[in-house]
């Protein structure tokens, strides 16, 4: 794992240098006629400070991530990645315009050579250079749009919790459960919130204000290991619901993305993780079910361990999880990865409602009215919101927290309220 991580670091550093060298050429072109040399060279210095800081930080972190069991190191590494995205997505956009400009200039130069056009005079050359700046200027303006959006996503967007309400109708829902309010949350990734405790408290207050009958959490409580939960128990245990709080495992909860010293250390982390769920008042369902009873009427709550398409491991066992639920007419399944619904549930199992998370909406996309788009849709066709096939529903929550990129652009953190109704 360490060798692979070092190779990725080398690739990223080379990428940074190539992008900066070429985009700097465009910046010099735009500033060519600036008479104030102090300002011009100050911009140059500021330009190169950013890649210098990023590369230095990457070289420093190379020996620590993912080999130190310290949540704050990962939090800082994600922040570093955020600054990389903040500056280099806009630079790539700028480069597209500047490269187009260079290609147009090259084509004209070749055409002039082939047509034996006489050399142009100095004044005409200066005018052409001035006109050639046009695309680079447009590129700089265009690049400002993603820069602003990403910056907002890092500062505000990742904490801008949204309540999403859905009313679902079922013919076989027992009368006693008509109007049951479920708050569905997913992908807390608590290690990413270190230093932002007040934001998490505000999110929990929003959840409690919905007056849930059930709180169902569909996995990824942590990023890598249980230590991330240190100090969070008093905060997370404040979640309140009438009939209980239930949870399942997500792919990050197993510690599969950390380079453990040995198998026993990983197993101890897993056992500590299970105890942490007890401490915060959640019943962790590990390929098992739990009946929810109101006035002698029951519905079944089924929780599978993580089941995903490769490269994600498949710990989930739906047959084992559904054991003993045959006589209960209405079933809710919690399964972290929405791929599981298409692979093993819809049209195959008598499950009325499946709740998933995992995708985060890629933490980047567009949601305006009926328009909903994110690049994650090309990997996960069921990636956010409500899906229905005949009489079976799937809801994919786009996540409470964040990981990797410390921000959300157009895909706010979500608190889902599902009200079950008797059709």
Residues 287-315 have a mean pLDDT of: 96
305 has pLDDT over 80: yes
Check whether residue 107 and residue 236 sit in a common domain: no
Check whether residue 382 and residue 340 sit in a common domain: yes
Question: Considering 120, 155, 190, which residue would you say is the last residue of a domain?
Answer: 155
The tokens for 283 are: 């019943």
Residues 365-378 have a mean pLDDT of: 93
pLDDT digits (tens, 9 = 90+) for 159-196: 999 999 999 999 999 999 999 999 999 999 999 999 99
Question: Considering 121, 155, 189, which residue would you say is the last residue of a domain?
Answer: 155
* pTM (2 d.p.): 0.91
Check whether residue 184 and residue 88 sit in a common domain: no
Strands (DSSP E) contained in 25-145 are none
Check whether residue 81 and residue 195 sit in a common domain: no
CB 357 within 8 A of CB 383: no
Residues 397-413 have a mean pLDDT of: 97
Check whether residue 82 and residue 105 sit in a common domain: yes
Check whether residue 108 and residue 186 sit in a common domain: no
Residues 6+ apart with CB under 8 A from 181: 210, 211, 212, 213, 214, 417, 418, 419
The total of other beta-carbon atoms located within 10 Å of residue 181's CB is 17
Check whether residue 112 and residue 247 sit in a common domain: no
Check whether residue 87 and residue 181 sit in a common domain: no
Of 8-12, 30-34, 126-130, 402-406, where does mean pLDDT reach its minimum?
126-130
Please tell me the predicted confidence (pLDDT) of residue 60: 76
How does 353-380 read in b/e, with b if 16+ C-beta sit within 10 Å? bbbbbbbbbbbbbebeeeebebebbeeb
Percent of the chain with pLDDT over 90: 78
Residues 6+ apart with CB under 8 A from 347: 389, 390, 392
Distance CA 86, CA 285 (A): 39
pLDDT digits (tens, 9 = 90+) for 245-300: 999 999 999 999 988 989 999 999 999 999 999 999 999 999 999 999 999 999 99
Q: Is the dihedral of CA 352, 356, 361, 363 positive or negative?
A: positive
Query: What's the domain count of the chain?
Result: 2
Please tell me the predicted confidence (pLDDT) of residue 66: 53
pLDDT digits (tens, 9 = 90+) for 187-197: 999 999 999 99
Please tell me the predicted confidence (pLDDT) of residue 128: 52
Q: Is the dihedral of CA 290, 301, 418, 251 positive or negative?
A: positive
Question: Considering 122, 155, 188, which residue would you say is the last residue of a domain?
Answer: 155
Range of the domain at 374: 162-422
The β-bridge partners of 387 are: 394
Answer with the residue of higher pLDDT: 32 or 414: 414
Please tell me the predicted confidence (pLDDT) of residue 122: 44
CA distances from 368 to 128, 155, 162, 261, 374 (A): 42, 21, 14, 47, 12
Check whether residue 174 and residue 145 sit in a common domain: no
Distance CA 215, CA 304 (A): 16
Check whether residue 191 and residue 313 sit in a common domain: yes
pLDDT digits (tens, 9 = 90+) for 47-69: 999 999 999 988 876 555 556 78
Residues 382-402 have a mean pLDDT of: 97
Mean of all residue pLDDT scores within the chain: 92
384 has pLDDT over 80: yes
pLDDT digits (tens, 9 = 90+) for 81-120: 999 999 999 999 999 999 998 898 888 888 888 886 554 4
The helix or strand, by DSSP H or E, that contains position 369, with its residue range, turns out to be none
Please tell me the predicted confidence (pLDDT) of residue 265: 96
Distance CA 407, CA 405 (A): 6
Check whether residue 136 and residue 240 sit in a common domain: no
Check whether residue 289 and residue 140 sit in a common domain: no
Distance CA 133, CA 262 (A): 58
């Amino acid at each position: 794992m360490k060798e692979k991580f070092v190779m990725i670091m080398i690739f990223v550093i080379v990428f940074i240098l190539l992008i900066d060298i070429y985009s700097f050429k465009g910046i010099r072109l735009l500033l060519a006629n600036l008479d104030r040399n102090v300002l011009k060279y100050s911009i140059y210095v500021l330009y190169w400070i950013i890649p210098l800081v990023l590369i230095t930080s990457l070289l420093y972190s190379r020996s620590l991530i993912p080999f130190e069991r310290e949540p704050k190191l990962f939090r800082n590494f994600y922040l570093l990645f955020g600054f990389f995205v903040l500056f280099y997505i806009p630079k790539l956009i700028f480069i597209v315009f500047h490269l187009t400009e260079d290609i147009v200039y090259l084509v004209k130069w070749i055409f002039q050579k082939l047509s034996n056009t006489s050399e142009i005079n100095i004044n005409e050359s200066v005018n052409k250079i001035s006109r050639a700046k046009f695309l680079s200027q447009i590129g700089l303006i265009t690049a400002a749009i993603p820069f602003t959006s990403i910056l907002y996503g890092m500062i505000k967007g990742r904490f801008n919790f949204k309540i999403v309400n859905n009313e679902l109708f079922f013919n076989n829902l027992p009368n006693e459960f008509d109007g049951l309010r479920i708050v569905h949350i997913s992908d807390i990734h608590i290690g990413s919130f270190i230093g932002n405790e007040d934001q998490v408290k505000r999110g929990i207050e929003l959840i409690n204000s919905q007056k849930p009958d059930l709180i169902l959490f569909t996995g990824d409580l942590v990023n890598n290991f249980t230590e991330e939960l240190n100090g969070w128990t008093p905060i997370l245990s404040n979640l309140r619901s009438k009939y209980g709080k239930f949870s399942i495992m997500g792919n990050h909860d197993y510690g599969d993305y950390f380079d453990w010293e040995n198998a026993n250390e990983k197993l101890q982390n897993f056992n500590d993780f299970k105890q942490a769920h007890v401490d915060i008042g959640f019943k962790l369902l590990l390929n098992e079910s739990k009946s929810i009873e109101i006035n002698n009427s029951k519905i079944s709550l089924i929780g599978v361990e993580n089941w995903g398409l490769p490269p994600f491991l498949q710990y989930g066992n739906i047959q084992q999880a559904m054991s003993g639920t045959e006589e209960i007419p209405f079933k809710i399944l919690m399964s972290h990865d929405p791929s599981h619904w298409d692979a093993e549930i819809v049209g195959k199992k008598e499950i009325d409602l499946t709740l998933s998370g995992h995708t985060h909406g890629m933490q980047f996309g567009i949601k305006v009215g009926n328009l909903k788009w994110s690049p994650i849709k090309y990997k996960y066709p069921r990636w956010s919101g409500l899906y229905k096939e005949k009489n079976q529903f799937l809801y994919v929550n786009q996540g409470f927290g964040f990981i990797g990129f410390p921000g959300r652009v157009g895909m706010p953190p979500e608190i889902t309220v599902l009200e079950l109704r008797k059709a």
